[in-house]
Amino acid sequence: MTETPARYKRVLLKVSGEALMGKGSFGIEPQIVEEIANDVALVSRSGVQVCLVIGGGNIFRGVAAAAKGMDRAQGDYAGMLATVINALMMQNALEKAGIDTRVMSAIQMSSIAEPYIRRRAVRHMEKGRVVIFAAGTGNPFFTTDTAAALRANEMECDVLLKGTQVDGVYSADPRRVPDAERYDELSYMDVLSRDLSVMDATAISLARENRLPIIVFNIHAPGAFASVMRGEGRFTRIIETA
C-alpha cells in the first residue's frame, strides 16, 4: 500500500515550551523531545521542507516574571534565551535522528547559532535541512506565537501548524472543562471574536492578513505531525472563510 503523499511543500511547526515538559511542571523531558524530533524527521524525509519555532514557557515566562515585578522587556529577553535552550535540545534530537538542522537566532550568538537571515533560511530548507528559529522575533512584547506567524509568512510556508497538548481548538480547556466544545474548522474572526486561547491575537491577525492557514493538533499523539501532513487524524483548521 502506497502512503498518501503530504499535502504541503513547506510548513512551519510551532511547538510550545510546555509540550517539552512531559508530565513534569518545569524543564525538559528528553524522551518527549526525541519523540517530537522523530515525527519531524519522518515529515522531513517525505520531502516536505520544515522549519520550527519552539516556545520557552517550560523554562521562563517573561509575562509571569513581569507580574511579579520584573521589568517586562528584561523578562521577555530572558524568555527568548529559554527558547534558544529548547532549540538546541531539538537540534540535538533531530541530528541523532539523522536530520541535518540549523538553528537561527533573532539575537546574535554566533558561537551556537546562525543569525537569522531570511534568504539563508530559505536556502537551508531548499537543501533539505530543518531550520529551527530561536529567540522569538528578537523583540520584547511579542510572543513566540507571533514569531511563528511572522516566520511562516517570511518563509512563504503553505501552512502554520501548532502542536499543542490537545487535539484541536476547544471553547475551553478540555482538560479542565470536560464538556468543552471542539471545533473542526474556524475562521480567523471566529478565534478573535470568541477570544479562543489558541494563539495570541497578534499572531491570528498576522495570519489573517496574509491568508496563512493554521492547523492545531496534539503534538503528543504518535505520528500526529506526519498524519496531519496527509490530512488525516484529528485537528482544527483556521482559515479565511467566504
In angstroms, the CA 94 to CA 43 distance is: 12
Beta-carbon contacts of 156 under 8 Å, excluding residues fewer than 6 positions away, are: 10, 122
In angstroms, the CA 170 to CA 117 distance is: 36
Tally of CB atoms within 10 A around 102: 19
Cα 15 off chain centre by: 4
Cell of 5: 503523499
Query: Residues forming the annotated binding site for ATP?
Result: 14-17, 57, 61, 164-165, 170, 173
Please name which of 242, 35, 149 lies closest in space to residue 133, comparing C-alpha atoms.
149
Query: Residues forming the annotated binding site for UMP?
Result: 56, 76, 137-144
Report yes or no: 140 and 72 within 8 Å, Cβ to Cβ: yes
What are the beta bridge partners of residue 239?
Answer: 187
In angstroms, the CA 231 to CA 19 distance is: 22
Query: Residues forming the annotated binding site?
Result: 14-17, 56-57, 61, 76, 137-144, 164-165, 170, 173
In angstroms, the CA 199 to CA 150 distance is: 13
Helices 144-154, 201-209: axis angle to 10 degrees equals 10
At residue 139, the 3 state secondary structure works out as coil
Reduced to 3 DSSP states, what percent helix, strand and coil does the chain have, rounded to the nearest 5? 40, 20, 45
